[in-house]
Structure 1
């Protein structure tokens, strides 16, 4: 079964359980599972007139549960192996009367707790299909939810786009690998890399920072919004700094281009640009292209750029200093 069909079926079941009465959708997760929902949340914020959309880290959802979480709330949670806080978040959501959908790789307390579950492919595995990674499924949930409740004019084109995501990604890997090798060589002694993005790519930039560069390679990697760059962070710009600018396709691209123009004026040779137009996103219809920025960018950043930097700095990206080793409960 195609992922579009599985998601459509699951969303219909969830709405049926809610008697088709829904006021809001809430996206909950931790780390990359949280960041992976940026694309889905962005889509709902832009396209839905009736359903409000919000994102919460698992811990925040537990300790500061919004009072409006109720039977008219759909809570979508994600955890690869069953992060304890995400499992507890699902229990809180159920206690508040909400309907829950859990995205997972390995079965855990999350799959036992949620009303409905969808298995996804780990983004980090080369054999995984990009239309089946957590970020893509989150976006598919959002698109089907909107279509079922309000109707979505570009639904057919959006569902067809999932069929070309994986081939688009494979082609982008081939294109970016030699570029990533050059970038990695230039940055092999850099201890801090600034990641700039906005709109539909902000989640991909966030994950690249906290999960890829900081967690996996133990480098400093501040995440900077392309517009907010001019409200403080641009003061650190000089020719010694390393900037990694994501250029999205879609309506917020001018924010990214404005930041890039400044970086080109005052930055140095360690300024790098990854443009969505160069990695296939412009091949999608304009009215849906921006909503697929996240899964393509995030997959390329993790599997090409992070890996190439790992190779040149001789840092095994599978090792951790504290995660799964030290107690942090």
Structure 2
């Protein structure tokens, strides 16, 4: 069980507790942007008087929302804290009078230095260090948002969130066991393919987005696309045939029926051996409060799928991190 958020999260929340925000902007790029999508869903469902938008960092600067100002909070995330677009977005927000909170691994980074309040989170995917997922990027973002909503609306979110986060890491470990045989069966079929699509909706869409662009494309060079489960029926379903490969994430939130519809279409018109389905209903989420399960299922999915990506990489003889051509190797783009 987690008794309280980390000290830096508590400090940031205490610093903004007296402010009545009308709007929160969640701003980042790439994998960091993907967690913001789940954050927006969280605020939409629980933030009665608080509006929320998600922006790619550089588009945030270019679009320059008129409502950005002293009564708004901008939460930014960059794992290294050096993403130039995100640092620029933080400076832009401060220039418009907004309050800024930066999430990063490095409290000495450029992002941490420019924002009003910096908070650190843990990561295992690129650092290789085991962590408690409660203190990963999703967990810290949820702590910030729950604390913010509680301060403004007395919603009583934080206590149940902390209880649920305390049960997250055990749930992830159980999920690895649940999916082990499934991944073992699908990896040899998916490995030689040229294209793999991910589908999801609601709180799970960000996980599908990140897996498509930051794992399948970035690290394994698949042709890939994250497709929203309902948008699937407005064009993308035309790619479905017996050879097309899909990863479908079935969450536990209010949009679940959208993903179920997509799954059913794929099994009817595609090939079951090429449809890898992960269903939140099959997970053991013991210890989590029911209303927070939908927001934590995407973390379980992504952690297990990360291991699946390594299985693909081994079969393809394509290293997961070291094999990248441009990421972390070029600076002039």
What TM-score, normalized by structure 1, do the two folds share? 0.93
Given that 1:121 and 1:134 are in contact with CA atoms closer than 8 Å, whether structure 2 keeps it comes out as yes
1:288 pairs with 2:292: yes
Cα deviation, residue 8, structure 1: 5.4
Does 2:134 match 1:131? Answer: yes
Partner of 2:327: 323
CA distance in 1, matches of 2:135, 2:175: 17
| Alignment correspondent of 1:120 | 121
Partners in 1 of 2:304 and 2:35 — Cα distance? 14
Partner residue of 1:54? 53
CA contact (8 A) 1:40 1:141 kept: no
CA distance in 2, matches of 1:157, 1:10: 20
Question: Which residue is 1:98 aligned to?
Answer: 98
CA contact (8 A) 1:7 1:137 kept: no
1:273 corresponds to 2:277 = yes
Residue deviations 1:174-226 (CA, integer Å, cap 9, x gap): 32233222211111211101111000100000000000100011111111111
Per-residue deviation, 1:279: 2.8
Query: Is contact 2:199-2:228 (8 Å) kept?
Result: yes
Does the aligned pair in 2 maintain the 1:249–1:281 contact within 8 Å?
no
Gaps of 5+ in 1: none
Question: 8 Å contact 1:194–1:243 — kept in the other structure?
Answer: yes
In structure 2, the residue matched to 1:188 is 191
CA drift at 1:286: 2.8
Q: In structure 1, what is the Cα distance between the partners aligned to 2:291 and 2:14?
A: 28
Structure 2 distance, partners of 1:27, 1:66, is 13
> Distance between the aligned counterparts of 1:243 and 1:283, measured in 2?
31
1:19-168 to 2 correspondence within 5 Å?
19-81=18-80, 82-106=82-106, 107-124=108-125, 125=128, 127-168=130-171
In structure 2, what is the equivalent of residue 300 of structure 1? Answer: 304
Q: Distance in 1 between matches of 2:209 and 2:85?
A: 20
- Which secondary structure state, in structure 1, belongs to the residue aligned with residue 59 of structure 2? helix
Gaps of at least 5 residues in structure 2 are none
Assess if the C-alpha contact under 8 Å between 1:3 and 1:131 holds in 2. Answer: no
Give the Cα–Cα distance (whole angstroms) in 2 for the partners of residues 59 and 225 of structure 1.
23
* Change in CA separation of 1:154 and 1:12 when aligned onto 2, cut-off 3 Å: closer
TM-score (norm 2): 0.92
Matched positions, count: 326
- Distance in structure 2 (CA, Å) of the matches to 1:8 and 1:89: 21
Cα distance between partner residues in 1 of 2:268 and 2:129? 38
CA RMSD, 1 decimal? 1.8
